[in-house]
């Protein structure tokens, strides 16, 4: 066995909520030529314990280990690199953490060069399989716009903007066992009767990025691409016809923004579903301000479950988050969903933003009471502000530290493996008007109103 594609285990992040295949790795697998696919195995920490992944590395002694990382599981990814290097593997790291922190990794090159060979930055491109080919043959040339060979990189290494050929294929689910994921999946409300859960995506990045409405806490990379509709239709056909999936999660960060595209998707899907004699239900992430103009689309597509980023019950805080929505609008949208029998399976909140005060925290708790009375919000995620690398708030924290606390600034500036709890505490010290204890208490109170659905970190 030559190639291991790994999503590291993480006790936090979305894996404690959704349990679905890592679509980034699945996309990489899908792009490999058939001869390489025979040599490739996906090890997904969403369903495999960490020691099992390490055992697989040691047993299989792979030639290539490609790991998808976020800021929660980067440390564990580095542990896997250490195991892989014992057997002389070539290691390639990609994912949101690498895209957002590659310059920090280069700064820390003297340490990381023993663990990481290549950094894959940004969205996937179709030439990735050629890259793997070259690595296997030992003929890699530095001709890839978004892959850096770490030993040759320097602080001025820049990534050339990614062309629009990022991922032109449909996903190859042939080796994915959806039963393995479905048995962990939490089924609340409308999802109680869903049996086999599958997922796909229709775009990379968030469309808010292209209209300059990026939320201040968001670390979703700023590139944005749509996938071709015909490839999405092929994914849905495979999911429903070959894997008996009856509930499909659309994992886009903001699915309901482009009405024209959605209408085209629905037209094609309706034709497909008639010929398959089946109609799955759907789930999507959405903003509350996309609900009213899309309610017909939501019904036609059989979306029964949503994730809504409410973020706060305080209009002052929503403005500071650059969220471009009001609390009243969010309540209105939730009611509209309730009237149409659509659940908010998870509503998310961030507390401890700029100038958060005891009064704004109270506003969020009373907003939660209102949501609870509507009755279709099944669970919530309420997180302290985590300044993820790549977000506007991370940059703000770094600038503040440079001004007031040189020692902390240098520690973070020269780090690539951040202690997220430490970032929360630092952010809270310089930017909010409440203490960590106030945040902790608000989180406890919030979960008394609507149950916990997912947790990022425990403070």
Chain residues binding ligand SF4 by CB under 6 A are 206, 208, 214-215, 218, 220, 253-254, 287, 309
> For residues 253 and 178, what is the distance between their CA atoms, to the nearest angstrom?
22
Q: Give the Cα separation of 147 and 118 in Å (integer).
A: 7
| Minimum CB distance to ligand SF4 smaller for 78 or for 220 | 220
Q: Nearest approach, Cβ of 273 to ligand SF4 (angstroms)?
A: 29
Q: Where are the alpha helices (DSSP H) in 140-199?
A: 178-182
For residue 238, the 8-state DSSP code is I
Considering the complex, what minimum distance in angstroms separates the CB of residue 301 from ligand SF4? 19
Q: How far is the CB of 257 from ligand SF4 (least distance, A)?
A: 9
Identify the burial level of 50 via C-beta atoms within 10 angstroms of its C-beta, where 0-12 means exposed, 13-18 middle and 19 or more buried: middle
Residue in the structure block whose two tokens are 């090159």: 109
Nearer to ligand SF4, 97 or 287 (CB): 287
Distances (CA, A) of 384 to 22, 354, 388: 25, 12, 12
For ligand SF4, give the closer residue by CB, 28 or 215: 215
Q: How far apart are CA 391 and CA 218, in angstroms?
A: 5
- Whether the Cβ atoms of residue 381 and residue 453 lie closer than 8 Å to each other: yes
First to last CA, the chain: 41
**Any idea what the Cα angle at residue 339 is, between residues 185 and 372, rounded to 5°?**
60
The dihedral over CA atoms of 251, 256, 260, 264, expressed in degrees to the nearest 10, equals 40
**Closer residue to ligand SF4 (CB): 30 or 202:** 202
Shortest gap between Cβ of 350 and ligand SF4 (angstroms)? 9
Which of 132, 218 has the CB closer to ligand SF4?
218
E-only strand ranges, 331-443: 343-351, 380-384
Q: Of 365, 380, 427, which is closest to residue 400 (Cα–Cα)?
A: 427
Strand partners, 348: 309, 381
CB 185 → ligand SF4: shortest distance, Å? 22
Our CB check for ligand SF4 shows the closer of 162 and 350 to be 350
DSSP 134-149: HHHHT---S--TTEEE
Least separation, in Å, of the C-beta of 183 and ligand SF4? 29
Measured from the CB atom, the residue of 77 and 206 that comes closer to ligand SF4 is: 206
Q: How many residues does the chain have?
A: 459
Nearest to ligand SF4 of 54, 320 (CB atom): 320
Instruction: Tell me the closest approach of the beta carbon of residue 253 to ligand SF4, in angstroms.
Output: 3
- Tell me whether residue 120 is exposed, middle or buried, using C-beta atoms within 10 angstroms of its C-beta: 0 to 12, 13 to 18, 19 or more: buried
Beta strands in 137-245 (DSSP E): 147-149, 197-200, 203-204, 225-226
Nearest-approach distance from CB 220 to ligand SF4, in angstroms: 4
Provide the minimum distance between the beta carbon of 157 and ligand SF4 in the complex, in angstroms, as a whole number.
26
Which lies closer to ligand SF4 via its Cβ, residue 182 or residue 203?
203
Nearer to ligand SF4, 98 or 218 (CB): 218
Cβ 354 to ligand SF4 shortest distance, Å: 16
């Amino acid at each position: 066995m030559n190639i291991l594609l790994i999503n590291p285990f993480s006790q936090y992040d979305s894996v404690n909520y959704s349990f679905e295949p890592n679509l980034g790795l699945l996309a990489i697998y899908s792009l490999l030529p058939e001869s390489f696919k025979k040599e490739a195995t996906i090890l997904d920490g969403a369903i495999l314990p960490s020691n099992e992944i390490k055992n697989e590395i040691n047993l299989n002694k792979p030639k290539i280990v490609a790991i998808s990382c976020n800021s929660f599981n980067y440390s564990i990814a580095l542990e896997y690199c250490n195991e892989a290097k014992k057997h002389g593997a070539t290691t390639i790291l990609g994912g949101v953490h690498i895209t957002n922190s590659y310059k920090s990794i280069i700064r820390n090159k003297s340490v990381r060069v023993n663990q990481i060979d290549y950094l894959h930055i940004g969205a996937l491109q179709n030439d990735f399989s050629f890259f793997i080919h070259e690595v296997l043959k030992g003929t890699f040339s530095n001709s890839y716009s978004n892959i850096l060979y770490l030993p040759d990189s320097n602080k001025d290494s820049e990534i050339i903007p990614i062309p629009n050929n990022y991922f032109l294929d449909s996903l190859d689910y042939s080796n994915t066992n959806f039963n393995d994921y479905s048995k962990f999946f939490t089924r609340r409300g409308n999802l109680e009767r869903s049996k086999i859960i599958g997922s796909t995506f229709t775009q990379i990045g968030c469309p808010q990025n292209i209209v300059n409405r990026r939320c201040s806490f968001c670390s979703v990379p700023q590139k944005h691409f749509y996938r071709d509709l015909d490839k999405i239709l092929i994914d849905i056909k495979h999911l429903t016809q070959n894997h008996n999936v009856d509930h499909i999660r659309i994992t886009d960060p903001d699915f309901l923004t482009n009405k024209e595209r959605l209408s085209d998707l629905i037209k094609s899907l309706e034709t497909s579903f008639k010929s398959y004699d089946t109609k799955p239900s759907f789930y999507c992430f959405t903003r509350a301000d996309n609900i009213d103009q899309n309610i017909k689309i939501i019904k036609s597509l059989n979306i029964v479950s949503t994730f809504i980023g409410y973020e706060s019950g305080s209009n002052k805080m929503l403005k500071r988050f650059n969220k471009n929505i009001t609390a009243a609008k969010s309540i209105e949208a939730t009611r509209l969903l309730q009237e149409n029998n659509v659940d908010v399976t998870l509503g998310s909140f961030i507390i401890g933003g700029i100038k958060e005060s005891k009064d704004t925290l109270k506003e969020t708790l009373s907003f939660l009471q209102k949501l609870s009375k509507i009755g279709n919000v099944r669970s919530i995620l309420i997180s302290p502000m985590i300044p993820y690398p790549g977000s506007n708030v991370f940059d703000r924290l770094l600038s503040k530290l440079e001004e007031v606390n040189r020692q902390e600034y240098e520690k973070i500036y020269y780090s690539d493996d951040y202690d997220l709890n430490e970032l929360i505490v630092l952010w809270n010290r310089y930017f909010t008007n409440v203490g960590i204890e106030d945040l902790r208490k608000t989180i406890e109170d919030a979960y008394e109103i609507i149950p916990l659905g997912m947790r990022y970190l425990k403070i």
